[in-house]
């Protein structure tokens, strides 16, 4: 693993075939000194305008920088004069959708980020990624460089986890044994595909779509070599996660599934089922307050700190009950990001700087001395060749 660079370049683009029409973005993270590609993202976003896709590309690139080059100075390069001038503060942002996206980009950008316009020919890499996503040839993040050490098989990861250490320091006990938790985000639903707020049991509670079920089957196939080591599957009781857990159980040899309410998604109250833009339009003041505080909840919903408390309490119960074993957990974006932030000993607001794909896999090993080690496979399992070795 190479050293994290002190300065990085984000190249971002987005496009729509129809404006509005089928849209996608591309984002590239590079070491500014060497030009080495550290990570790429090409993702389709459904029906959108060119400007929305361009902003989405910028946001994706800034999130790549936050995840793979934390602390680095960022220069963002785009061939969109509109986005560059608006993010630089030289042009006013009049359209409500653009205001929301600009705020989201600003929240993802580290202090001191600069924005540079480049000719389209100099942005060909990001443009290619966007077109590949539109053509269905790629979907999600590929990591190179600093975080791209070959991912050994998950079986090797589990086997290498120490089994006996010093007495517990953070409360997960287990008589000195380490516990490995393999966390799978549910597959897509109608709300996931439409990028709508979708909470726990208090909302619409949609089922997996056909695409979502295929994503989980692919994840199950990817995890199959681990089947003999899986002690249990623990699921959020929300429909899409329970369906994911049941599918995984079938693919892992009928492992018993139980529910843990603490791993349910954040409740979004009266935002449930709305897009970010719709929430901004209908509940703009409430949204701004929520984005500015981890202690504020949407009306009828939960705050991030409340979710953190119940998720970590559920984690402690899980590790105590399955000490020294391997457990698969099916959960949601907010609880998984909360667990990852805790494992990294990062502040809770780190959840705003993470990207988590549907059916992605995160592996956390809780050691008896209070340490937690983390392994992320943040891509859809069908694209696992981007991060998994032939050991599978």
Q: In what order do the strands lie in the sheet with 73-78?
A: 114-117, 73-78, 7-16, 21-31, 37-48, 140-143
Paired strand residues for 10: 29, 76
What's the rounded Cα separation, in Å, for the pair 119 and 220? 44
Q: Please enumerate in sequence order all residues whose Cβ is within 8 A of that of 320, keeping only pairs 6 or more positions apart, or say none.
A: 172, 173, 174
Q: Of these residues, 177, 265, 286, 355, which one is catalytic?
A: 265
- Residue 126: which of 226, 225, 40, 222 has the closest Cα? 40
CB 233 within 8 A of CB 255: yes
DSSP labels, 118-139 = --GGGGHHHHHHHHHHHTTS--
Sign of the Cα pseudo-torsion (280, 282, 290, 140, in order): negative
What's the rounded Cα separation, in Å, for the pair 357 and 186? 9
Q: Of these residues, 68, 186, 283, 332, which one is catalytic?
A: 186
**Region class of 191: left (phi > 0), else alpha (psi between -120 and 50), else beta:** alpha
Active site residue 186: yes
Active site residue 265: yes
Q: How many residues does the chain have?
A: 392
Q: In what order do the strands lie in the sheet with 179-185?
A: 257-259, 230-235, 326-331, 179-185, 361-366, 372-377
Give me 255's structure tokens: 């492992």
Q: So which residues are the catalytic ones? A: 186, 265
């Amino acid at each position: 693993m190479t050293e994290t660079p002190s300065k990085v370049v984000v190249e971002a683009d987005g496009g729509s075939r129809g404006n509005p029409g089928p849209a996608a973005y591309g984002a590239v993270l590079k070491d500014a000194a060497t030009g080495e590609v550290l990570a790429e993202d090409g993702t389709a976003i459904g029906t959108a305008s060119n400007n929305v896709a361009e902003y989405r590309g910028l946001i994706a690139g800034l999130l790549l920088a936050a995840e793979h080059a934390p602390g680095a100075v960022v220069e963002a390069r785009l061939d969109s004069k509109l986005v560059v001038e608006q993010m630089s503060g030289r042009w006013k942002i009049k359209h409500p959708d653009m205001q929301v996206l600009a705020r989201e980009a600003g929240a993802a950008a580290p202090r001191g980020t600069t924005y540079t316009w480049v000719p389209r020919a100099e942005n060909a890499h990001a443009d290619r990624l966007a077109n590949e996503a539109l053509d269905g040839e790629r979907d999600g993040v590929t990591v190179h460089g600093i975080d791209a050490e070959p991912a050994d098989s998950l079986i090797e990861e589990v086997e290498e986890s120490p089994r006996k250490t010093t007495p517990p320091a953070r409360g997960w006990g287990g008589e000195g044994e380490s516990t490995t938790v393999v966390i799978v985000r549910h597959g897509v639903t109608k709300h996931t595909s439409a990028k709508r707020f979708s909470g726990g049991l208090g909302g619409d509670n949609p089922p997996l779509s056909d695409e979502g079920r295929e994503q989980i089957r692919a994840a199950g196939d990817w995890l199959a070599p681990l089947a003999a080591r899986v002690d249990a599957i623990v699921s959020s009781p929300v429909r899409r996660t329970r369906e994911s857990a049941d599918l995984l159980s079938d693919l892992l040899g009928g492992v018993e599934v139980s529910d843990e309410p603490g791993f349910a998604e954040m409740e979004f109250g009266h935002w449930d089922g709305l897009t970010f833009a719709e929430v901004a339009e209908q509940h703009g003041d409430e949204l701004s307050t929520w984005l500015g505080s981890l202690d504020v909840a949407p009306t009828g919903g939960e705050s991030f700190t409340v979710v953190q408390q119940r998720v970590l309490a559920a984690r402690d119960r899980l590790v105590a009950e399955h000490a020294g074993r391997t457990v698969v957990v099916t959960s949601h974006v907010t609880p998984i990001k909360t667990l990852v932030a805790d494992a990294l000993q990062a502040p809770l607001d780190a959840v705003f700087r993470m990207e988590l794909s549907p059916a992605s896999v995160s592996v956390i090993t809780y050691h008896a001395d209070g340490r937690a080690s983390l392994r992320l496979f943040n891509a859809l399992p069908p694209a696992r060749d981007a991060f998994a070795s032939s050991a599978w």
